[in-house]
Structure 1
Amino acid sequence: MPLRLNRTFRHWLYLTHRWIGIVTCLFFAMWFISGVVMMYVAFPGLSDKERLAALPDIAWEKATLSPDDAMKAAGSTRYPRELRLMMLADEPVYRLGDWSGKRQTISAVDGRAITEISGQQALAIAAMHPASKSPRFEEMIDRDQWSVVARYDPLRPFYLINLGDDAGTKLYISSRSGEIALDTDRTERVWNWLGSIPHWIYPTILRQDQPLWRQVILWSSGICLVVGITGIWVGILRMRLKRRYANGNITPYRGWMAWHHITGLIAGAFILTWMFSGWLSVNPGNFFADRNTAREMLQRYAGHDAATFAAKWPIAHHPAVEARFTWVDGMPLVITNSRSGERTVLDAATGTAAVLPQDRLWTAATKLLPRSQLTDKIELKEPDFYWYAHHRDREFPVLRAVFNDDAQTWIHISPVTGDVLGHVDSSRRTYRWMFNALHSLDFQLLLKYRPAWDIVVILLSILGCIVSISGVVVGWRYLKR
């Protein structure tokens, strides 16, 4: 009886891997090839550097409304999550974002709410972009392949403006506020059809429905995970290292099937961990904690919640394309950004340059988690396993406040502006190893000596492609029979 059960189990093991693998090997091949493309071409987005480069200098002399006036005009009852002053074409405006996600634009000239801009205004905004040559209006769009995600919802619909440059740059300008929400160029648009779109299964019709898209990712990667596990199992059962097959090989197969067997054994662990980490990317069961910092924490850190800003107004004219009004430990600050991204911190009361003492930042940090103790104060001057700049911008040096709460929380703070840059707890640190490390191989040793990281990832991806493509060929032959 046990022998019969063993044969039955093997029979179903082989059948499961063979017939599910026929379809899923296409997904495997697609994911390996698109993953290599994604190493060098990211999904289109608007970086802070690109956003600032497209803004004109603030015309301070036109900004007659103070931040307090702007909050009053917007009907704010508490200090907003963000409050910025910048130009909308030739008019200074305040941009406010509250804690519910609502965004408002208030003229700094006369206090009127700006809820709509014209096509001519959109063209004027596009003309100020550094890549602009002969901007022209293409169409009004609500959602397309590049603006599909929900974070753009408060800004829709968009004027799509072609800048007429050699790169084929297009701007998505909000018809509600005049903000540049997104830019894309021809290279991004072409390569992403071979990169992020197939890799993330990202067609607009699917991605616009977030819950449905998430289920598709969970089930498709979950089924592929089963194929990977059964494949390694079958591969081990069919391998002979000591009592070899008649031809002296460790595999009974020839041709494409032999390639599939041998490369599957060599790269099986990588494929399995890569598949498992991809499945974790959508946080199944919400097992891992949210990465966002809670509103209550940020408000305690700011030390101010009323819809007021104690600023000398008009502030001394300071060359900048953006001014941000914020509080740190009950201290009002104006943080200005130049077009090149250079930041200057101003004392709001005097309008003069200010330097934030680290002692005050550490004091403010204790208020983030008042029921826990700040057990360690670290100034991080170079990347480590949890704060590094792979495919993202990271500020250095950065302050790390370590707490002894149940979640073992770390808060990262900018020593220049005092901004809370993010937080990680034990759950997110586990996620870093189970997703980022396994899926992107972002180990510091490899990243420090690039192109070592590129070589390792490409070689493993080639092995994965051989396993996948050979599986497709073998599966097609089975189907033809």
Structure 2
Amino acid sequence: MKRLLFLAHRWLGIVLCLLLLLWSFSGLMMIYAGPSGISPDVRLAHAQPLPAAEAGHWLSLSDAWQRSGLATTRQPVTARLSMQAGEAVWLVTDNSGQRQRISAQDGQLRPLTPAQAVQIARDWRPASQQARLQAAFERDASTAMMNYDPYRPFYRVALDDAEQHEVTISQKSGEVVKSTTRMQRILFWSGSYLHFLRPLDAIGLAEARKPILTWGALAALLSVCSGLWLGVGRWRPAWLGKRPYPNGSSNPYRALWQRWHLWLGLSAGLLAFTWCLSGFLSGNPWQLFGQQGGHGKTHQHSQPALPAQATGLPMAQIAGQLQQKPSEPAVELNWFQLGRQQQLQARDRQGHVWLLATTGSGQPQPEAGFSKDAVLAAVSSQHHAPIRAAELLQQDDDYYYSSPRISRAELPLPVWRIKLADTAANWLYVNPQTGETVLQLKQGQRSLRWLFSGLHNWDLPMLKYRPLWDIWMLLGSTTCVALALSAVVMGWRRLSKRK
């Protein structure tokens, strides 16, 4: 039996050593690759000020939507007014999930032109002296994820600054969806592109990539488990009362790579086990954690449409409020809806919010945001389930937390944590300022949080303080890289010897 286990470990290692080396190395590169998209705070920081003196001449959302010709087939669900390439535009998500770019001047649909894309990129980074259109494309490796689908196709603009920025802009909405430096692109290609086996997409194996990731992780898990069992059995430390080998060592091997493979396996074997296990479970094999959907993210187009009687508010009525703002000028206007209430809110570059108009509440609102009663009533009505508990969180909990790859602006505080008494035991995290459900987690997703994020990203309470987390991840990753490299060398020598 022990001989069979040894042979299984040897040949699993020979078959999988390159895959384990690729995963270990690319995981190390991913640690400091940074977020993959544009967070709300970054978008605001790069937005252009709204010229308040011209606001009275802009079309309301309802008027612009009617003139665009979309009103016969679709309805607006979310809407944001901002400046793009010197023009005020309404950026709308409709009830089909598509993004629309509508001029606030004449209400016409405005697909982005190459010249406007270059101007938007220059406005994004004003310090750049030159910008050139590099490509127009539908999909590439960095935008292959499904969350980019509503924004396709794209323009990519290259800037001449010291960090060699490249800005990816949606042709459909004019929004900047990615802005990367040369170093970030290197980390992407050597990190997540390899880690998730994206090269398989380029050779027509996109559909097979997820099964290969899932079952490859299971095979790697079996290899690591067998190695741990054999390694602990062959290790004979005198301080544990075991008799050493005839050469006086606790390690039976004399060849350099074999000796190091045992030491590295004993050092990083458990960490490799947790990474292989969590990587396998992340594929949700056999639907162990139920239907995962969007990994807890809610879809904006599933919300009710904004009513025309609210969004028809003439812009002339709010132009004076924009001009009276004493501090930073507004850079965008947002329509938000919760239940029967709608609010038009303004934001500046620092993220400060103030209320411009409210409808449907029955009484004047002193400031931007929705009350507890409004939040609870809307949640109960939308989900058709009683509320078991509701708490306003002022700090992160175990499931709602920022990280190096998720900014605070994406998961803002305070937030309502609402537990529903439904069959899926849903937890909702609702932003009281906007009324948006930022995160929704079922019971299975909360379990997967510990088995994947806890064991793969190690975002555990005991490691939340930096640089403790950095030390743990860097030491563990480099040791696993060395372990996989030793397996590659030993496998190559074994195959060469047999040949």
What is the TM-score with the length of structure 2 in the denominator?
0.85
Query: Match for residue 3 of structure 1?
Result: none
Q: What corresponds to 2:30 in structure 1?
A: 38
- Report the count of equivalent residues: 467
1:110 alignment partner, SS class: coil
Equivalent pair of 1:76/1:307 in contact (CA under 8 Å): no
Counterpart residue type for residue 64 of structure 1: W
Kindly indicate whether residue 57 of structure 2 is the aligned counterpart of residue 56 of structure 1.
Answer: no
* Equivalent of residue 116 in structure 2, options 110, 117, 121: 121
Q: Is the 8 A contact 2:282 2:448 kept in 1?
A: no
Matched AA of 2:469: W
- C-alpha deviation, 1:452, in angstroms: 0.8
Query: SS of the counterpart of 1:232?
Result: helix
Change (3 A) 1:337 1:180: same
Choose which of 448, 454, 477 in structure 2 pairs with 1:437: 454
- Contact 1:149 1:208 (8 Å CA) reproduced: no
Post-superposition Cα deviations, 1:71-109, rounded to whole Å, max 9, x if no partner, equal 333226664332222223122222222233222222211
Q: Decide which moves more: 213-222 or 387-396.
A: 213-222
| Alignment pair present for 1:456 and 2:458 | no
Matches within 5 A, 1:392-471: 392-393=406-407, 394-447=411-464, 449-471=465-487
Change (3 A) 1:354 1:234: closer
Change (3 A) 1:307 1:400: same
Which of 185, 197, 200 is equivalent to 2:193? 197
* Contact 1:144–1:204 (Cα < 8 Å) also in 2: no
Contact 2:100 2:172 in 1 (8 A): no
1:124 maps to amino acid: Q
Q: Render the CA deviation track for 1:385-426: whole Å, top value 9, x for unaligned.
A: 111111212212211111222222111011222221111121
Contact conserved, 2:95 with 2:302, CA < 8 A, in 1? no
Aligned to 1:112: 108
- Within a 5 Å distance, the mapping from 1:218-233 to structure 2 comes to 218-233=214-229
Once residues 204 and 232 of structure 1 are traced to their aligned partners in structure 2, the CA distance between those partners, rounded to angstroms, is: 31
Are residue 316 (structure 1) and residue 318 (structure 2) matched?
Answer: yes
Following superposition, the deviation at residue 359 of structure 1 comes to: 3.1
Deviation at 1:27, TM superposition (A): 2.4
2:23 partner letter: W
Closer/same/farther in 2, CA of residues 295 and 191 from structure 1, 3 Å limit: closer
CA distance 1:150–1:320, change in 2 (3 Å): same
Check if 1:252 corresponds to 2:258: no
Distance 1:432 1:239, change over 3 A: same
- Note if contact 1:384-1:444 (Cα within 8 Å) is conserved in structure 2: no
**Shift in CA distance, 364/176, structure 1 to aligned 2, threshold 3 Å:** closer
Q: Given the superposition, is the C-alpha separation of residues 147 and 445 from structure 1 closer, same or farther in structure 2, using an over 3 Å criterion?
A: same
Which residue type is aligned with residue 430 of structure 2?
Answer: I
Partner of 1:367: 381
Distance 1:295 1:50, change over 3 A: closer
Structure 1 stretches lacking a partner, 5+ long = 1-5
- Aligned mates of 2:468, 2:72 — CA distance in 1: 52
Residue 308 of structure 1 and its aligned partner are, at CA, apart by: 4.8
Stretches of structure 2 that go unaligned for 5 or more consecutive residues are 323-328
d(CA) in 2 for partners of 1:296 and 1:88?
22
Q: Secondary structure at the match of 2:143?
A: coil
In 2, Cα distance between equivalents of 1:248 and 1:298: 69
Normalising to structure 1: TM-score of the pair? 0.88
Match of 2:184 among 183, 188, 194: 188
Tell me the CA shift for residue 469 of structure 1: 1.9
| 1:120 partner letter | A
Distance 1:274 1:178 in 2: 39
The residue identity in structure 2 corresponding to 1:272 is F
Alignment partner of 1:328 out of 321, 338, 359? 338
1:382 is aligned to 2:388: no
The answer as to whether partners of 1:41 and 1:188 remain within 8 angstroms in 2 is yes
Deviation at 1:20, TM superposition (A): 2.4
Task: After superposition, give the CA deviation of every residue in 1:235-257 in whole Å (9 maximum; x if it has no partner).
Answer: 24434463443234343222221
- Match of 2:190, SS? coil
Q: Which amino acid aligns with 1:12?
A: L
Structure number with greater CO (CA < 8 Å, separation at least 6) is 2
**Alignment deviations for residues 284-325 of structure 1 (CA, whole Å, 9 cap, x no partner):** 3444332356679964xx6x6655535531141323222221
- In the TM superposition, what whole-angstrom CA distance separates every residue of 1:428-453 from its partner, at most 9, and x where no partner exists? 11010010000011112211x21111
Aligned to 1:19: 11
